[in-house]
């Protein structure tokens, strides 16, 4: 029996997107195409399909090589992106921004506030 697999789950499982919701949003925003046509997140993936996927980091051309258990996802796709497209890519920044601020930068912590209050009250 062939397992049915949605494109948003597939793109998330092969680690093109950090979360499944990001993969679904990419589908909804027209960043995932099959044969030049936009794909909905609920589209069923078939072996041999070739998808054009645009992420923040780069543009991918992905051929589905197999359907899988999620733990082995990374083995079941082929990156067939043309070499000339890879020449245009620069990897200066990390591909995923978590939104978490860097440690020791920004607002003081509760401990910092207590230290400041203690310092000011000693005068």
Q: What per-residue confidence (pLDDT) applies to 97?
A: 53
Q: Using an 8 Å Cβ cutoff, are 42 and 20 in contact?
A: no
- pLDDT category of residue 4 using cuts at 50, 70 and 90: confident
Higher pLDDT pick, 79 / 112: 112
Domain-wise residue ranges, the chain: 7-121
Residue-wise pLDDT tens digits, 34-81:
888 899 988 888 888 899 998 888 888 988 887 765 556 556 677 777
Q: Where are the alpha helices (DSSP H) in the chain?
A: 7-13, 20-28, 83-86, 110-121
How confident is the prediction for the chain on average, in pLDDT? 79
pLDDT tens per residue, range 60-71? 898 888 776 555
Spatial contact of 58 and 93, defined as CB atoms under 8 Å apart: no
Thinking of the domain 7-121, which architecture would CATH place it in?
Answer: Roll (3.10)
């Amino acid at each position: 029996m062939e397992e049915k697999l949605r494109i948003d789950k597939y793109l998330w499982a092969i680690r093109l997107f950090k979360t499944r919701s990001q993969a679904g949003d990419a589908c909804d925003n027209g960043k995932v195409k099959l044969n030049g046509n936009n794909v909905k997140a609920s589209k069923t993936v078939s072996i041999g399909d070739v998808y054009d996927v645009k992420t923040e980091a780069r543009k991918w051309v992905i051929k589905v090589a197999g359907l899988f258990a999620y733990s082995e996802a990374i083995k079941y796709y082929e990156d067939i992106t043309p070499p000339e497209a890879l020449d245009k890519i620069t990897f200066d920044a990390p591909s995923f921004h978590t939104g978490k601020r860097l440690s020791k930068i920004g607002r003081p912590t509760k401990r910092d506030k207590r230290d400041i209050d203690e310092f000011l009250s000693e005068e």
